[in-house]
């Protein structure tokens, strides 16, 4: 009865590699009164973050805290049938929820870990990145077959939909995968399809027998008189002041993502159990403001149409939380 | 549709501060209301007592009135009894005096004492003895004296002496 007297507060938490984004929206009589975002240079809930959240929720007792699930052990099933899911994995170790004809899941242990970590302030909602991705591209999912990717700081969520039906899904923790050295996997068979990946070690630019001699000559990277790199004309003047190491990291991560997408496509095409039609388009929900190199990698190497939409993850989560709470 | 893995906890608009405030208001209101009930009860109780006291007062007033009437009656009775006692004393004295008046030789058989009259019946050896011994003092006392003699077989005389006191002469 007294709830309508108080404003509603929605807080979304997105945990990155070395930062936590806390986004707060305050609604009064269903109208947005104010919203603000703060980023903390930490990856766990320390006193500072907790104090900030407590400060946000001080205004009203009606508050909801939502979080993006950053578990490594999460994914999606192409079916919502309980029996089918039981066949795929140990149902006692996961928590899954249905979304139309498919389901998304996460580790029960990780869920409890999240709730335990935030028990002082109370966690109300935990969302899967698959849900974020599906809702973000809800207008595109039923338009034929396409790949959808959510690019976060250390995660890459990939889904292939065909007319709203989920065909393939993968959730990649890039740091975890990097530690497992997936990028160093070498192919033994040189006659494998180019889509399987390029063996970097086998490339010999100086060799006359190299297949590159038949391709368009790769231009030598040169420096102009100002000391800037001609080829990287997408980098604006501000990046010239960046630490070269950071630039290298960004380029490295983009390439890593490209390789994961490439690997996912390979798996999709190779899997006989899936209805693997040819994919022409990839829709990317970009939470990082990735540069054009990533687009170019995909466009040039995978021959996909690339459509990138910027996504404000904390805002999306808060929006989802509000819709869910209003529906309850 | 609910997308979250977990359900949100129920939020109550009633914060701890509000609960504390409500508690204080509740206690205060309860105390005020309790005091009000107490006052209503006391008022009711006193009203019924007042009615009892009024009835008691009326009864006592009536009782007082009755007592006063009884006192008046008692006083009248006292006065009457005193009057009667006085009269009795007077009468006794009168009778004593009368018997003192009657000499030994005369025998009284009946004496009627009225408010203003004395009638004697008796016997005397002779008329002279009566006239000298009794008639004379009677005349000195009463305003009118009448005597009738009746001779007896033994030579004595029975007499009837009627003596009156006149009121007019008494007032004088």
Give the residue from B146, B144, B145, B147 showing the smallest Cα distance to B158. B147
| Digit-coded pLDDT (tens) for A88-120 | 888 889 999 999 899 999 999 999 999 999 998
Low-confidence ranges of chain B (pLDDT < 70): 1, 169-172
pLDDT of A188 reads 37
Give the separation between CA A157 and CA A70, rounded to whole angstroms: 11
Any idea which residue has 């459509």 for tokens? A307
> How far, in whole angstroms, is CA B156 from its chain's centroid?
55
Task: Taking each helix axis as running N to C, give the angle between helix A129-136 and helix A313-327, from 0 to 180 degrees, rounded to the nearest 10.
Answer: 90
Length of chain B measured in residues: 172
Q: How many CA atoms lie within 13 A of A13 on its CB side?
A: 28
Which of B5, B8, B10 best probes binding to A when mutated, by most A CB atoms within 10 angstroms?
Answer: B5
Residues pairing with A126 in the sheet: A67
Residues pairing with A165 in the sheet: A162
Residues 6+ apart with CB under 8 A from A239: A247
pLDDT of A183 reads 44
Residue pair A46/A68 in contact by the 8 Å Cβ criterion: no
Lowest mean pLDDT across A1-10, A304-313, B26-35: A1-10
Segment holding B148, helix H or strand E? strand B144-151
pLDDT of A160 reads 93
Where are any strands of DSSP class E within chain A?
A: 8-15, 20-28, 31-40, 63-68, 74-77, 94-99, 102-107, 125-127, 145-151, 155-162, 165-173, 281-286, 305-310
pLDDT of A176 reads 61
3-state secondary structure of B157: strand
Contact check, Cβ <8 Å, A61/B14:
yes
| Digit-coded pLDDT (tens) for A221-267 | 444 444 444 444 444 445 455 566 666 666 677 888 888 999 999 98
Whether A136 and chain B come into contact, CB under 8 Å, resolves to no
pLDDT of A225 reads 45
Which of A27, A97, A98, A120 best probes binding to B when mutated, by most B CB atoms within 10 angstroms?
Answer: A97
Residue pair B120/B146 in contact by the 8 Å Cβ criterion: no
What ipTM was predicted for this assembly? 0.74
Does A3 or A317 have the greater pLDDT score?
A317
pLDDT of A245 reads 62
| Digit-coded pLDDT (tens) for A25-84 | 999 888 899 999 999 998 888 889 999 999 999 888 899 999 999 898 999 998 888 888
Q: What is the largest CA-CA distance in chain B?
A: 162
Which two tokens mark B162? Answer: 């009627």
């Amino acid at each position: 009865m007294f709830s309508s007297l108080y404003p509603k507060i929605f807080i979304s938490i997105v945990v990155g590699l070395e930062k936590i984004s806390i986004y707060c929206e305050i609604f009064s009589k269903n109208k947005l009164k104010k919203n603000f975002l703060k980023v903390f240079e930490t990856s766990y809930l320390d006193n500072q973050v907790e104090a900030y959240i407590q400060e946000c929720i001080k205004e009203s007792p009606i508050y909801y805290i939502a979080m993006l699930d950053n578990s490594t052990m999460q994914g999606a099933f192409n079916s919502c049938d309980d029996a089918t899911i039981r066949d795929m994995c140990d149902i006692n170790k996961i928590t899954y929820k249905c979304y139309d004809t498919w389901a998304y899941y996460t580790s029960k242990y990780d869920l409890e870990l999240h709730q335990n970590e935030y028990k002082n302030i109370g966690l109300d909602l935990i969302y899967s990145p698959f849900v974020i991705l599906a809702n973000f591209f809800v207008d595109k999912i039923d338009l034929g077959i396409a790949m959808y990717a959510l690019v976060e700081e250390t995660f890459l969520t990939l889904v292939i939909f065909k007319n709203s039906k989920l065909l393939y899904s993968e959730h990649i923790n890039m740091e975890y995968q990097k530690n497992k050295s997936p990028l160093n996997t070498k192919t033994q068979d040189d006659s494998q399809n180019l889509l399987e990946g390029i063996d970097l070690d086998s490339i010999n630019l100086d060799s006359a027998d190299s297949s590159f001699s038949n391709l368009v000559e790769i231009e030598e990277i040169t420096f102009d008189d100002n000391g800037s790199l001609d080829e990287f004309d997408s980098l604006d003047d501000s990046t010239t002041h960046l630490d070269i190491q950071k630039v290298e990291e960004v380029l490295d991560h983009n390439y890593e993502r490209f390789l994961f997408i490439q690997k996912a496509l390979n798996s999709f095409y190779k899997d006989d159990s899936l209805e693997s039609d040819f994919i022409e388009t990839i829709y990317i929900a970009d939470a990082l403001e990735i540069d054009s190199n990533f687009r170019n990698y995909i466009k040039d190497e995978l021959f996909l149409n690339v459509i990138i939409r910027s996504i404000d993850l904390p805002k999306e989560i808060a929006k989802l939380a509000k819709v869910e709470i209003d529906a309850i | 549709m609910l997308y979250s893995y977990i359900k949100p906890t129920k939020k109550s608009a009633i914060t701890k501060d509000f609960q504390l405030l409500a508690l204080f208001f509740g206690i205060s209101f309860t105390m005020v209301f309790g005091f009000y009930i107490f006052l209503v009860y006391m008022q009711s109780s006193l009203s019924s007592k007042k009615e009892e006291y009024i009835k008691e007062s009326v009864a006592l007033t009536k009782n007082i009135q009755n007592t006063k009437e009884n006192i008046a009656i008692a006083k009248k009775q006292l006065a009457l009894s005193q009057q009667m006692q006085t009269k009795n004393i007077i009468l006794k004295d009168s009778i004593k005096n009368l018997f003192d008046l009657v000499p030994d030789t005369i025998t009284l058989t009946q004496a009627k004492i009225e408010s203003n009259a004395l009638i004697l019946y008796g016997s005397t050896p002779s008329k002279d003895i009566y006239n000298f011994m009794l008639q004379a003092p009677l005349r000195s006392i009463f305003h009118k004296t009448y005597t009738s003699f009746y001779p007896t077989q033994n030579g004595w005389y029975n007499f009837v002496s009627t003596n009156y006191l006149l009121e007019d002469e008494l007032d004088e």
